[in-house]
Amino acid sequence: MAVLTITAENFKTEVLGSAKPVLLDFWATWCPPCMMQSPIVDELAEERSDIVVGKVNTDEQPELSAAFEVENIPTLVIMRGGKVSARLVGLHSKEQILEELK
């Protein structure tokens, strides 16, 4: 499944309305660790049809970043049923992310 670009406009539909768990990647173009995290997140999106993967550009979506109290990036947030079930701050391996998705 393709990675979704999550914005304030589509958040309710794509994230809160999802029947599947959602992995949100909060990132920015100027963040080197974010650029290292991105291919891992993309890989998960391709491999896992049982989750929705979305990316939130913190510079373009400050209201979503504020709503999730994102202070450091990359931050990965896993949501189930519209609620945060896990939060990973900093660069994480695929294995670490998969462990949180169990």
The one catalytic residue in 34, 44, 76, 88 is 34
Which alpha helices (H) appear in the chain, and where do they start and end?
Answer: 11, 32-47, 62-67, 94-101
23 — alpha (psi -120 to 50), left (phi > 0) or beta?
beta
73 and 61 Cβ atoms separated by less than 8 Å: no
- Alpha-carbon separation of residue 20 from 50, 57, 62, 65 (angstroms): 6, 22, 25, 22
Does residue 31 have an active-site annotation? yes
81 and 22 Cβ atoms separated by less than 8 Å: no
The one catalytic residue in 1, 28, 31, 51 is 31
Q: Which residues are catalytic?
A: 31, 34
